[in-house]
Amino acid sequence: MFKIGCHISSSGGFLAMGRTAESIGANVYQFFTRNPRGGAAKEWLAADVAAYTAFAAERGIGSPLGHAPYTLNPAAEKENLRVFARETMADDLAKLEQIPGAMYNFHPGSHVGQGAQRGIELVAQCLSFAVAPGGTVPVLLETMAGKGSELGGRFEELRDIIAAADESLRPRLGVCLDTCHVYDGGYDVVTDLDGVLAEFDKIVGLDRLRAIHLNDSKNPYASHRDRHETIGNGSLGEAAIKSVINHPALRDLPFYLETPNELPGYAAEIALLKSLRD
C-alpha cells in the first residue's frame, strides 16, 4: 500500500485531521504537537481522540507523525532551553501514546557554537530524559540541511546521537529522511539515490529509517539552505521524486509532503504522486 499524505493543521483536533486527510486522498498525515513557534500545548480531548481513533480505523488512516515545535533545541547552550526541550519532548511523547500508530519527529537542534560533539551529547541526554521506559512511540531524528550549526546534516551525526543515547531506549530511535534537506545537505538523491541509501545503510542502518518527508527544494544541491518547493518544481524534479517513492528500500515507508501548499495543492500533489507510483 502506498502510504502518502501531508502536513495538516491540528487546530481542529484529531477527528478533523482524519477527515481532512481523507478529503485530500491521504492515508497518513503529519501535524504539530503544539504551536511550532511557541511551544504552548493545547489539551488533547479524550472524546476527540476516541472519535478519531474509530474514524481512522474505519477509513484506513494511519501513521500519524507528530512533529515537535521548531523552538525545541535539545542542544542549546542555555540550561533553561534544554529543560524546555526535554520537558516538551517528554510531554509530547506521553500524549502520543494515546494515538494508535503514532510516531514522533524532531529536529536534532543546533549546537550554537559549542561544537558538534557537545551538541550530540546534549541531544542524547535529552532523549535519555524524555523517552520514558515503557513507552512505545518511535522517536525519529530528522535529517537536516546542515544550516549554520544545525545537527543532523550528516548521517554520522544521527548515528552518533543514537549511539550516545541510553541503550535501553535505542530500539525506539529512528530517522525521518527529508528529501529537500538531504539534497540541500549534500546527498545527491537526484543522480545517485542508490549511493545515498547505501551510505545511509552503512552509517545508520536502513532498519532505522521509518519515514520520508517528501519535498522538492528551492535551492541547488549542497546549498545548506532548507527551503521547500512543490513537487516537480524545484531542484530535485519530478523524476527524482518518482524514484524515491518507488525505491524498493523506501516504497513501504510513510511519505509526508511538507511542500508550500494549501489543501487543494496537497490534494493535487497526492494525486500526482499516486499516478507516479509503479
User: Contact residues for Fe ion (CB under 5 A)?
Assistant: 142, 178, 213
Q: Which is nearer to Zn ion, 4 or 214 (CB)?
A: 214
- Pick what 213 binds: Fe ion, Zn ion, none; C-beta below 5 to 8 Å, kind-dependent: Fe ion
Q: Which is nearer to Zn ion, 216 or 226 (CB)?
A: 226
- Alpha-carbon 120 to chain mean position: 18
Q: Which is nearer to Zn ion, 165 or 176 (CB)?
A: 176
Q: Which is nearer to Zn ion, 118 or 147 (CB)?
A: 147
Stretch that binds Zn ion, among 39-47, 118-126, 221-229, 265-273 (CB under 5 A): 221-229
Residue tagged 488512516 (cell numbers): 61
Please state the closest distance from residue 167 (CB atom) to Fe ion, in A.
Answer: 27
Please state the closest distance from residue 32 (CB atom) to Fe ion, in A.
Answer: 10
Q: Which is nearer to Fe ion, 15 or 110 (CB)?
A: 110
Please state the closest distance from residue 214 (CB atom) to Zn ion, in A.
Answer: 12
Return the C-alpha cell found at 180. 529537500
Please state the closest distance from residue 153 (CB atom) to Fe ion, in A.
Answer: 13
- Pick what 172 binds: Fe ion, Zn ion, none; C-beta below 5 to 8 Å, kind-dependent: none
Q: Report how far residue 134's alpha carbon sits from residue 144's, in angstroms, rounded to the nearest whole number.
A: 29
Please state the closest distance from residue 108 (CB atom) to Fe ion, in A.
Answer: 10
Specify the pairing of strand 139-142 against strand 173-178.
parallel
- Alpha-carbon 235 to chain mean position: 21
Show contacts with Zn ion in window 28-67 (CB under 5 A).
none
Please state the closest distance from residue 174 (CB atom) to Fe ion, in A.
Answer: 14
Q: Is 184 in the site for Zn ion (CB under 5 A)?
A: no
- Pick what 226 binds: Fe ion, Zn ion, none; C-beta below 5 to 8 Å, kind-dependent: Zn ion
Phi, psi of 29 (to 5 degrees): -160, 160
- Alpha-carbon 257 to chain mean position: 10
Q: Is 226 in the site for Zn ion (CB under 5 A)?
A: yes
Q: Which is nearer to Fe ion, 15 or 255 (CB)?
A: 255
Q: How many residues does the chain have?
A: 278
Label residues 241-266 b or e (16+ Cβ within 10 Å = b).
bbbbbeeeebbebbbbbbbebeeebb
- Pick what 157 binds: Fe ion, Zn ion, none; C-beta below 5 to 8 Å, kind-dependent: none
Please state the closest distance from residue 67 (CB atom) to Fe ion, in A.
Answer: 6
Q: Which is nearer to Zn ion, 56 or 196 (CB)?
A: 196
Footprint of Zn ion (CB under 5 A): 226
